[in-house]
């Protein structure tokens, strides 16, 4: 089966698409839409997988594109099309399916840096990542409630729900950013030095650290592999 991926890019600078495309295996057909620019969101029907990117926007504010994005999220759940949400995209899935009360501004403040995540449960949901690993965090908002039937699969730091899976709805949401490797992540931290330092983040310490795993390969592949298998097994 040919994998046809739709990337909904919510970034204001159109940067997330290239980061996402980098981790898609050869042979995957990818279409991207820059949602924050007011482009029409296509029907999900031709696609096998949907990916929702991160954004510098706050999920707690009513962006003009949310109604159209919300319609697509609900259509995918109804049609059984798997969805992968990263940071803002993760928060969007929960806000759409549960309402604004599912997300909030994190009272602990900005969470940023190469920070440790712990997988929950036995055995870990994503064995390739290991029990504990460091990945890029950069967010003010967090998910506090999940759709019925969801399982928290990762936690850590200032945010309790770092990752969840909902098999019945075909959802995989993660708060951190697997699309950034060390070079890309450190460039982001240096570009955002003023913002990070004004929120108590030691940028030089963050840059001196780095990821402990190949997060892009692991988490993008897990989504495509696991939910592709799920789709095939569910067919009559």
Catalytic residues, by residue number, are 87, 177, 179
User: Comparing C-alpha atoms, which of 71, 148, 159, 156 is closest to residue 107?
Assistant: 159
Q: DSSP letter string over 57-106? A: S-TTS--TTHHHHHHHHHHHHHHT--EEEETHHHHHHHHHHH-GGGEEE-
Give ∠ CA 12-197-135 in degrees, rounded to 5: 65
- Compute CA distances 142 → 18, 91, 113, 138, 146, whole Å: 24, 7, 16, 11, 11
Task: Answer yes or no: are the C-beta atoms of 45 and 79 closer than 8 Å.
Answer: yes
Residues 215, 29, 147, 126, CA torsion sign? negative
Runs of H (alpha helix) within 121-214: 182-191, 193-198, 203-208
CB 112 within 8 A of CB 200: no
Collapse the DSSP code of 229 into the 3-class scheme (helix H, G, I; strand E, B; otherwise coil) and give the result: helix
């Amino acid at each position: 089966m040919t994998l046809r991926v739709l990337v909904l890019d919510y970034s204001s600078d159109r940067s997330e698409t290239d980061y996402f495309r980098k981790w898609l295996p050869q042979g995957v057909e990818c279409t991207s839409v820059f949602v924050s620019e007011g482009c029409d969101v296509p029907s999900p029907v031709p696609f096998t997988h949907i990916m929702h990117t991160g954004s510098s926007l706050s999920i707690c504010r009513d962006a003009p594109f949310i109604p159209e994005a919300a319609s697509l999220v609900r259509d995918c759940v109804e049609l059984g099309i798997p969805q992968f949400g990263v940071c803002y995209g993760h928060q969007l899935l929960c806000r759409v399916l549960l309402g604004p009360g599912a997300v909030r501004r994190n009272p602990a403040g900005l969470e940023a840096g190469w920070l440790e995540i712990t997988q929950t449960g036995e055995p870990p949901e994503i064995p390739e990542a290991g029990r504990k690993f460091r990945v890029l965090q950069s967010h003010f908002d967090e998910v506090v409630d999940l759709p019925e039937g969801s399982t928290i699969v990762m936690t850590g730091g200032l945010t309790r729900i770092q990752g969840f899976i909902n098999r019945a709805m075909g959802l995989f949401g993660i708060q951190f950013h697997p699309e950034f490797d060390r070079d890309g992540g450190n460039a982001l931290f240096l570009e955002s030095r003023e913002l990070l330092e004004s929120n108590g983040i030691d940028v030089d310490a963050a840059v001196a650290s780095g990821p402990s795993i190949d997060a892009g390969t692991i988490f993008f592949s897990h989504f495509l592999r696991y939910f592709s298998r799920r789709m095939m097994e569910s067919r009559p």
